[in-house]
Amino acid sequence: MRKPEPDVNFALVPAVRLRRLAAADADAAPYDFAEFQRRSDLATVRPGSLSSARGAALAAAVSGLLLGAVLWQQLTLAPGAATSGDEGTAVLAQRADSEADDSASPALVRAGSLVARSELEERIAFFDAVLSESRVGSAQPERLAALEQGRSELVDSLQRVHYAEQLMAP
Amino acid sequence: MSRLTDLIFPPDLLERAGQGDLVAQERLYRELSPPVFALIRRLVGDWATAEDLFQDSLMLVFRDLPQFRGEAPFGVWVRRIAVSRCFMHLRSPWQRARRALSDLSYADDAADDAVFGLREAGADSGDQIDLSRALAQLKPVARTVLWLHDVEGYTHEEIARGYGRTVSFSKSQLARAHEALQPLLAGTEDMPCASRSLT
């Protein structure tokens, strides 16, 4: 025997209301095609402009650079490292002055990590799209495994860049 | 589902756009951009981020168009790219930290954006504005899970995979979103308890 339907007005159910809202969403693009093209041309790191291997290599290089900078900073700032107490204070003061005057180096390091991060995120997004497509289609398990492996390596590289950024954060 | 999945394009238009024909690309852009932007805005909340992700998504669409084999409807393929870009953004530790810092001011701004967008579009329904405002009050993750599940028809497994989390994460976020929506919408229309059966 069929169970009686609950006494519910489905027009009031959240999912139904949300779908009505989706159907009524603003019918406007944020900008026209000319502006889209202009922004595409301006994009400094275009999707697919580098292979995943080059992207990972770039990330490794940038994270190495950042880690090197952190180590150098810690060695320079370590009290008594290669200097006496007074000399250490002088080095600290000199560094503070020089950092106040010249913010170009940190900015360059941050720009480098930003580019690496953007590139890696683009590549991971691309892998995600291909993986989704492959899972829906009838891709070979080997191809899926290779794609997942590639994505995993990119995620590792991205984590290294994040880690290096955190070390560099003031 | 969003209007994106309902769009149908002639194969020759897609082929020409994939070959770099600017007229075809412009026509495709005109059709695709409103639903793609609306979807992304619903998923990420704020306008500026949505613009960036919209630009990225459509650049990927035009770049990968020659590889589109037509096995799935074109709108579904485009939606997958856009949602994938949003997932990338939402699960980034950097963006999570940024959202946590701006959480206090975020809800009001997002609510204003949402209502402004609807009014600009000529929405005359108070319910739509109330619902939009209530949605904007939700935590970003809960709102995204709610939209993907209840509107776009994504399964908990798909959402969990996108976030790189477990199915339980998706289910609990959806339950929290429904729970949070209930008092927010209490004054607009009565929400039946049976709505939980949809989850």
Q: What is the mean pLDDT of residues B140-147?
A: 89
Q: What is the mean pLDDT of residues A100-115?
A: 52
pLDDT at B81 (0 to 100): 93
Report residue B113 CA to chain centroid gap.
Answer: 15
With an 8 Å Cβ cutoff, are B128 and A21 in contact? Answer: yes
Whole-number Å distance between alpha carbons of A61 and A101: 27
Phi, psi of A79 (to 5 degrees): -60, 130
| Maximum mean pLDDT: which of A146-150, B15-19, B42-46 | B15-19
Q: For chain B, what is the mean pLDDT?
A: 79
- Going by the DSSP 8-state scheme, the letter that residue A49 receives in this structure is S
Residue A116 lies in a domain: yes
Whole-number Å distance between alpha carbons of B139 and B187: 20
Q: Does B132 touch chain A (CB under 8 A)?
A: yes
pLDDT at A105 (0 to 100): 43
* Among A17, A27, A124, beta carbon nearest to B127: A17
Nearest to A168 by CA among A111, A126, A128, A125: A111
Question: Which one has a higher pLDDT value, A28 or B17?
Answer: B17
> What DSSP letter does each residue of B60-97 carry, written as one string?
HHHHHGGG--SSS-HHHHHHHHHHHHHHHHHH-HHHHH
Note the pTM of the prediction, 2 decimals.
Answer: 0.56
Whole-number Å distance between alpha carbons of B136 and B103: 12
pLDDT at A53 (0 to 100): 52
Band (pLDDT 50/70/90 cuts) for residue A58 is low
Closest residue in B to A40 (Cα–Cα): B59
Nearest to A10 by CA among B139, A18, A2: A18
Chain B 10-49, residues with CB within 8 Å of chain A CB atoms? 25-26, 29-30, 33-35, 37-38, 41-42, 47
Q: Structurally, how many domains does chain A consist of?
A: 1
Residue A81 lies in a domain: yes
pLDDT at B8 (0 to 100): 84
Whole-number Å distance between alpha carbons of B148 and B160: 11
pLDDT at A84 (0 to 100): 46
- CA dihedral angle for residue B87, residue B91, residue B97, residue B101, rounded to 10 degrees: 40
Work out the burial of residue B57: count CB atoms within 10 Å of its CB; fewer than 13 is exposed, 13-18 middle, 19 or more buried: buried
* Among A14, A25, A128, beta carbon nearest to B88: A128
Q: What is the least distance, in Å, from the CA of A57 to any CA of chain B?
A: 20
Question: Which one has a higher pLDDT value, A78 or B3?
Answer: B3
Can you list the domains of chain B with their CATH numbers?
Answer: 1-91 (1.10.1740.10)
pLDDT at B23 (0 to 100): 93
pLDDT at B187 (0 to 100): 58
Q: Does B71 touch chain A (CB under 8 A)?
A: yes
- Taking contacts as CB-CB distances below 8 angstroms, the residues of chain A near B1 are 19, 22
Q: How far is CA A28 from CA A72, B24, B40, B41, in A?
A: 51, 19, 13, 12
- For the cut 90, the answer to whether the pLDDT of residue A21 exceeds it is no
Buried b (16+ CB within 10 A) or exposed e, B89-119: bbebebbeeebeeeeeebbeebbebbbebbe
- Taking contacts as CB-CB distances below 8 angstroms, the residues of chain A near B125 are 24
* Residue B109 contacts residue A142 (beta carbons within 8 Å): no
* Among B30, B121, B147, beta carbon nearest to A26: B121
Closest residue in B to A129 (Cα–Cα): B81
Instruction: Print the domain residue range for A163.
Output: 49-168
pLDDT at B168 (0 to 100): 93
Band (pLDDT 50/70/90 cuts) for residue A161 is confident
